[in-house]
Chains A and B, each alone.
Chain A
Amino acid sequence: MNLHEYQSKRIFAKYGIPIPKGEVAITPSQARDIAVRLGGPVVVKSQVLVGGRGKAGGIKVAQTPDEAEARADEILGMNIKGLTVKKVLVDQAADIRSEIYLGAVLDRARRRVVLMASSEGGVEIEQVAAETPEKIVTVAVHPFLGLRDYQARILAEGIGLPKEHTRQFIKIAKGLYAAYMGSDASLAEINPLVITGDNQLLAVDGKIALDDSALFRHPDLAEMRDPDSESPAEVTARRHDLNYIQLDGEIGCMVNGAGLAMATMDIVKFYGGDPANFLDIGGGAQADKVATALGIILADEQVKAVLINIFGGITRCDEVAKGVLAAIESLNADVPFVVRLAGTNEKEGREILAEANFPTATTLAEAAQLAVAAAKGEQA
């Protein structure tokens, strides 16, 4: 789950990281009022969960409250990469002398949280990594020791930060690490961290991505989720603990296990079809969860055939079969289904489907070919 800029920066502030004064507006007149309160030039920033807001015209400077209202009027309602802007952050404009990057991320290979700094602020770190990797300095943090001052000093020195800022930089780096750990983040970045005209470090923009698996211990953060950043189908899926991603094809796929779901999509494509979605019902799904999953797939009007591929381990095939029949009955489904059940309780599962005169496939290859043919209107 990703947090908005204003949410991320508020968390940073809680951990002692300096951020510009600012407030969120949902109407142009609110933006004007905020600009009046802040005094002086402001930046009006669209709050949508995509990158490249600036390039899309979603971030604008305003010298006066009138201008702030006009800019907010332009930005609110704007469509940025498919998302409608519903909120703007109105921040006091910073007097920027130079920009750096500071981020925290989980390094899978080192199995540590790593702090990264770069002299190239305001640019996506992925781009820096690809073009000038020597400009990125990293330190790995031992979980039982936490981030130590010397490590932050290594970062500051490595990016050539003027010595007068080292002290404040250490404080910010430790704040960022604490924010990362305290919110169970998977990514926390300040980009850019700027040096202002009066020689202060200031977190002008920031981003936090949270580990969904840890949200159970952060109900306050879980509430920050922006429902507009997900399609209704994705919201339903998440509420039922299903992993669903909508794609552009015509073959709805319901699979247990992420790896098998991806392999199923690959095989559908191999036989000339296009998957309509990625859907992993997870381990141990019960009949009602299966029915919900099918409901989500069938709500997609592009779907011309449904391929169900279950290899039961912790998931029991008889539960899946019951769910499939219940869903088809209640949803009045008129698209063709191809079901492939194998593994735990497969015999019971197949019997349940056979009693309802439901066609089943034995192998994944066979099932994928049948589904592709069915989607093209051929007899399965």
Chain B
Amino acid sequence: MSILVNKDTRLLVQGITGREGAFHTQQMIEYGTNVVAGVTPGKGGEWAVGNTPVFDTVMDAVNATEANASIIYVPARFAPGAIIEAADAGLDLVICITEGVPALDMVEVRAFLDTTNTRLIGPNCPGIITPEEAKVGIMPGHIHTKGHVGLVSRSGTLTYEVVYALTSRGIGQSTAVGIGGDPIIGTTFLDVLQLFEDDPDTEQVVLIGEIGGTDEQKAAEFIANRMSQQVTAFIAGQTAPPGRRMGHAGAIISGGEGTAAEKMAALKAAGA
């Protein structure tokens, strides 16, 4: 078992003919992910990345291939439309890798998603990997090994760092989920912790947070009251100067809310 993606994931790639889309589709296929279709408006009927059929719309692709999840590599200005299109086509899971999506667009997207059954991961995230089953994202596959530790993180490369450390100590992972660092995201720590809690194959969880926002504090509450597994947490940005924005739109400390110290205290108190 695992969460969100596995051998049965039939993946659709939105933006498959772009530079990043093509490169990472190749990497996902090499890892063993079942990539069934691509979508690039205007290129329907063509083939991309070997023998993956390309469609003009998500609806066409779903009808022809029974794709059940989508990953988005389109530029920021087209990403909100791509997410909405995927949700409107009825996909259960949409993962948006794109960074730099305007925050107010995401407010609209989230309000629309609330009316659907689609789960969005991201934007501005590395994606999801269930080792040896499916890599749906941009993470380097070879650093992962199959096992029983679930990871959830707001940061991309920092997650790789932790996975790499686990793997080199012989500790495998059930699923690693990058939820993204933007202020408005589709799936929060809380949602993913709930999924891990319900997954019999995940015995321990690593949570990787950073400064800004209060999602880690909410996660702490859930860990204290509901989680049966041991949770280990890391918060980046302990040495970040207050009031400065550290890249992620979310990583800004303001009004005494969201410092690394606060988050670490909350998680420690929760037994993490």
Binding site for B on A (CB under 8 A): 106, 108-109, 111-113, 126, 129-130, 142-144, 181, 184, 186, 211-214, 216-217, 243, 245, 247, 255-263, 265-266, 269, 275, 278, 280, 282-284, 310-314, 342-344, 346, 363-364
Contacts and interface: CB of A to CB of B under 8 A. Distances in A.
Interface in B222-237: 234, 236-237
B249 A259 contact: no
B110 A111 contact: yes
B76 A213 contact: yes
> Interface size bucket, B side?
35 or more
Contacts of A247: 241
B47 interface: no
Contact of B183 (A108, A144, A284, A343): A108
A192 B85 CA distance: 43
Given A184-B104, A213-B102, A258 B210 contact: yes
A259 B162 CA distance: 12
A314 B20 contact: yes
Contacts of A130: 255-256
B247 interface: yes
A222 to B, nearest CB: 13
Contact of A261 (B143, B246, B249, B254): B246
Given A211-B102, A311-B158, 13 more contacts: A113-B107, A143-B111, A181-B104, A213-B100, A213-B101, A257-B157, A259-B251, A269-B238, A313-B157, A314-B24, A314-B126, A342-B143, A364-B161
A108 to B, nearest CB: 5
Contacts of A314: 20, 24, 97, 126, 138, 156
Contact of A262 (B156, B246, B254): B246
Contacts of A278: 240, 244, 246-247
A172 to B, nearest CB: 21
A22 to B, nearest CB: 29
A311 B178 CA distance: 15
Given A256-B157, A258-B248, A259-B158, A313 B238 contact: no
Interface in B148-201: 153-161, 164-165, 181, 183-184
A313 B160 contact: yes
B104 A126 contact: no
A260 B155 contact: yes
Highest count of chain A CB atoms <10 Å: which of B103, B165, B237: B103
13 contacts: A126-B254, A130-B255, A186-B103, A211-B249, A258-B246, A259-B153, A259-B154, A261-B247, A263-B236, A266-B238, A278-B246, A313-B156, A313-B157
B44 to A, nearest CB: 26
Given A213-B103, A313-B160, A343-B143, A259 B213 contact: no
Interface of B: 20, 24, 27, 76-77, 97, 99-105, 107-108, 110-111, 126, 137-140, 143, 153-161, 164-165, 181, 183-184, 208, 210-211, 213-215, 234, 236-241, 244-251, 254-256
Which 9 pairs from chain A and chain B are nearest by CB? Answer: A259-B155, A258-B247, A257-B157, A214-B102, A260-B157, A259-B158, A243-B247, A343-B140, A262-B236
A280 B103 contact: no
Contacts of A282: 99
Contacts of A216: 76-77
B102 A184 contact: yes
A134 to B, nearest CB: 16
A127 B35 CA distance: 52
B181 to A, nearest CB: 6
A108 B158 contact: no
